Amino acid sequence: MESYKNAVKLIKNAILQSQYRAVRHTNIIQVSLYFSIGKYVSENTRKNVWGIGAIDIISNQLQKELPGLRGFSSSNIKNMRQFYEQWSCISNRQPVTAELSIAENDNSLLIDILINAIRQPMAVEIDMNKFMAVSFTHRMEILSKTSDLNERIYYINLTVDNLLNKYTLREIIKQDAYHHQSKMPNNFNKTLQSVDNYVKAISVFKDEYFLDFINTQEFDETDAEVIDEKVLEQSIVNNIKKFILSFGKDFVFVGNQYRLIAADREFFIDLLFFNRELNCLCAVELKKGEFKPAYLGQLQTYLRLLDEQVKKPHENPSIGIVLCKHADKSFVELVIQDYNKPMGVATYRTNADMPEQLKRALPDMEELKKQL
């Protein structure tokens, strides 16, 4: 019977690996095809070889000759052109796995392997296996919402490493994760036990979080003074899935107002999470205003109690985050080094912080509801 189990395991793994290779191979062919078509269309439209409306005509004719063909609408062909024009720079950096090109002798599409390409320096290296593994839908999501090459590579790597779907990727780009990575003031370098844990920790937390599901404008102005940490906390708890998506991957929600007891006194942590990647508890303290050094002292007490009373023997030391409305990074960096528990200070934005010019550009919600 044991031999049957081993056989099933072996065959199952072979099937899964085969499926993965098939999907990856299909994706490479599709990416190569779209890149080549984009190149062909770009060269003929940008140089006025074709007339106005040529892409619409070509798309309609393709639909007639290949009934049921999907993905070749005029808008998508234009996306292919944009895909080529935005990424054509990589063909001069390092070999692309496969590129379809137009053969001069018969105008047919052939697969050419780009070899001996000249590679230029970049702030972020391109992993071609990851580059070819990203679907065209994901690529257009990245291209349409970013403009910097290194930023695009960052989101490609993030997509592949975390198996992001299109909607999660869209949310992460909306939060501007690229510009907030590893910039949170912290003392991880002196408080975490290993370099590996330090590197993981600074990659997990951002310096600012966009909590767009919190809308303080829902409250009357007369109640403005009572909009405090409790309101913020409850909004996060009610939208915990969105908050975890904002916070990052591998976070598991443990609870809010998590109760600890020491020396006959009660302590309550605003939000408590567990991070699977860091293998540790993460305490989050919410503050509605400016950062104050006293917040770190409070958080240090919580972390000590968590490590003594809650942390499992195989887990790493607990990490604490102060999440406040405003913080002077230079000041935080100065005072946080005096504490011996791993902590960081991040800020958050809400819909109320949206620039006035952008607010005016958005439709009035009540008017929009009437029109719908």
Task: Report pLDDT for 304.
Answer: 95
List the CATH number of the domain containing 200. Answer: 3.40.1350.10
> Is the domain of 48 the same as that of 197?
no
Residue 185 sits in the same domain as residue 310: yes
Q: How far apart are CA 137 and CA 114, in angstroms?
A: 24
Domain finish residue from 162, 177, 192: 177
The answer to the question of residue 80 being in a domain is yes
- Determine the residue type at 129: N
Are 115 and 242 in the same domain?
no
In this structure, the answer to whether residues 147 and 258 fall within a common structural domain is: no
Query: Is the domain of 134 the same as that of 276?
Result: no
316 in any annotated domain: yes
Per-residue pLDDT of the chain (372 residues; tens, 9 = 90+): 666 666 666 666 666 666 656 666 677 777 778 888 888 888 888 888 888 888 888 888 888 888 887 888 889 889 889 888 888 766 544 433 333 343 333 333 333 332 233 233 444 567 777 877 788 888 889 988 888 888 888 888 888 876 778 887 887 788 777 776 667 888 887 888 776 777 678 777 877 877 765 544 444 444 444 456 677 777 777 777 777 766 777 888 898 889 999 988 999 998 899 999 889 999 999 888 889 999 999 999 999 999 999 999 999 999 999 988 889 988 998 999 889 999 999 988 776 654 444 344 434 444 434 443
- Can you give the pLDDT at residue 297? 93
Same domain, 98 and 184: no
* Backbone dihedral region for residue 248 (phi beyond 0: left; psi -120 to 50: alpha; all else: beta): left
Q: Tell whether 362 is covered by a domain.
A: no
Instruction: Specify whether 234 is located in the same domain as 307.
Output: yes
Residues 148 and 202 in one domain: no
Distance CA 147, CA 129 (A): 22
Residue 369 falls inside a structural domain: no
With beta carbons less than 8 A apart as the criterion, state whether 281 and 318 touch.
yes
Q: What is the pLDDT of residue 106?
A: 36
Please report the pLDDT score of residue 89 as a whole number. Answer: 67
Looking at the structure, do residues 227 and 349 belong to the same domain, yes or no? yes
pLDDT of residue 259: 93
Residue at 189 is within a domain: yes
Query: Is 216 in the same domain as 145?
Result: no
Residue 5 is predicted with a pLDDT of: 67
Expressed as residue numbers, the domain containing 87 is 2-177
Q: Which two tokens mark 358? A: 């952008």
Of 177, 206, 238, the residue at which a domain comes to its end is 177
- CA-closest candidate to residue 152, choices 167, 161, 144: 144
Query: Within this chain, do residues 196 and 241 fall inside the same structural domain, yes or no?
Result: yes
Residue 131 belongs to some domain of the structure: yes
Query: What's the confidence (pLDDT) of residue 295?
Result: 94
In a domain, 370, yes or no: no
- Show the CA angle centred on residue 326, arms to residues 324 and 327, nearest 5°: 95
Count: domains in the chain:
2
What's the gap between Cα 34 and its chain centre?
25
> Quick one: 168 and 183 in the same domain?
no
- Which of these three, 117, 152, 177, is where a domain ends? 177
Residue 363 domain flag: no
pLDDT for residue 355: 46
DSSP string, 271-340: EEEEETTTTEEEEEEEEEEE--THHHHHHHHHHHHHHHHT--TTSPPPEEEEEEEE--HHHHHHHHTT-S
